[in-house]
Amino acid sequence: MANSPKCAICSTEVEDLDHLLRYCPNTTETWQAVQSHGVNAAKSNARLSIWLHHNISGQQEDPDWPTKFLITLWYIWK
């Protein structure tokens, strides 16, 4: 439990799952690094649940993307 609802990393936004997994500047850098290796991180304005489902559904060009996506989410969470 934190004393402030703001993100402990960037201190600019309220820390919720959407901010933590997609919009925190640190997270954005992580997704850009993954994307620079030829993987489309598919950052979108869709609801978090839709974004998660899209990325784990296995409908991307890279058949390994769902695994890469989940590993990246774990890295961000950790």
Instruction: State in Å, rounded, how far the first CA of the chain is from the last one.
Output: 16
pLDDT bucket at 42, cuts 50 / 70 / 90: low
Which pair of tokens denotes residue 56? 């784990």
Residue keyed to tokens 């609802």? 5
The domain limits of the chain are: 17-77
- The mean per-residue pLDDT over the stretch 65-71 comes to 89
E strand or H helix that includes residue 25: helix 25-36
Residue 49 reports pLDDT greater than 70: yes
pLDDT bucket at 75, cuts 50 / 70 / 90: very high
